[in-house]
Amino acid sequence: MPDAFPLLRSRLLTGLCLTLVCAGVAASPGAGEPVPEGRTLPDMLMNGLNGPDRSLASYSGRKLIINIWASWCTPCRAEAASLERFAWSEAGSRYAVIGISTDDDRRAAERWLKQSNATLNHYLDRAVVLENMLGASRIPLTVLVDEHGRVITRVRGAQAWDAPEMLQLIEKAFAQGTRPRPRKVQDALPVPQKAMSAPR
């Protein structure tokens, strides 16, 4: 049967295409994508879990280690104690170490922090803004950030953070990050132990 409304159909298809194009434009390129290594993290206010709210920019001037975790993530829980020991060690005192929970339930995150006797500053990322910005498609993830807020490297999977090889990895990563033209740290420095990551 011949099409009785060729012009109407053409206009409808054109309108649909324009709608899809506009929807694509509305979501700006790179939205929700991780900040690449060597680029600066944008500032934002972080919602405190075991302390006051604090802006990411307030850590400017210090080498920052950001650990992304969740209370339901077994590997995250397994590495928590070693991260605390590292942060309170003489070597770890050169860095600011913070945690960011991706829990949907604030109370679950608070219960785990209390259970684990956490002393580090932890923040909640319910809107997954930090999770996306830091590239935490799998957790645990630890992001090293230099004094200027630039992402140095990402370490994926649970680690023994107080082990000598991890301290060496951290020191080398930050040293390479200060060079004028550093190579990608992940290409140069293998993670000492096999990653044990929990999918999000």
Q: What is the pLDDT of residues 66-121, one digit of tens each?
A: 999 999 999 999 999 999 999 999 999 999 999 999 999 999 999 999 999 999 99
Local confidence band at 173 (pLDDT 50, 70, 90 cut-offs): very high
Instruction: Report the predicted TM-score, pTM, of the whole model to 2 decimal places.
Output: 0.74
Sort strands 95-101 and 121-124 into parallel, antiparallel or unpaired: parallel
Burial 56-71 (b: 16+ CB within 10 A, else e): beebeeebbbbbbbbb
- pLDDT per position as a tens digit, 131-141: 999 999 999 99
Task: Indicate the burial class of 31 (C-beta count within 10 angstroms; 0-12, 13-18, 19 or more).
Answer: exposed
Mean pLDDT of 162-179: 88
Q: Which CATH class is domain 45-199?
A: alpha beta
Model confidence at 28, in pLDDT bands (50, 70, 90)?
very low
pLDDT band at 126, cuts 50/70/90? Answer: confident
Comparing 67 with 196, which gets the higher pLDDT?
67
Q: At residue 199, does pLDDT exceed 70?
A: no
Section 12-39 average pLDDT: 50
Burial class (CB in 10 A: 0-12, 13-18, 19+), 24: exposed
The predicted structure's pLDDT at residue 166: 95
Overall residue count recorded for the chain in this entry: 200
> What mean pLDDT comes out for the span 169-181?
76
Domain boundaries, the chain: 45-199
pLDDT of residue 33: 85
Task: Please give the pLDDT value at position 200.
Answer: 56
Q: Check whether the bond before 140 is cis (ω within 30° of 0).
A: yes
Residue 35 pLDDT > 70, yes or no? yes
Q: What's the average model confidence in pLDDT over 30-44?
A: 85
Q: Confidence class of residue 20 from pLDDT cuts 50, 70 and 90? A: very low
Token pair belonging to 61:
């001037």
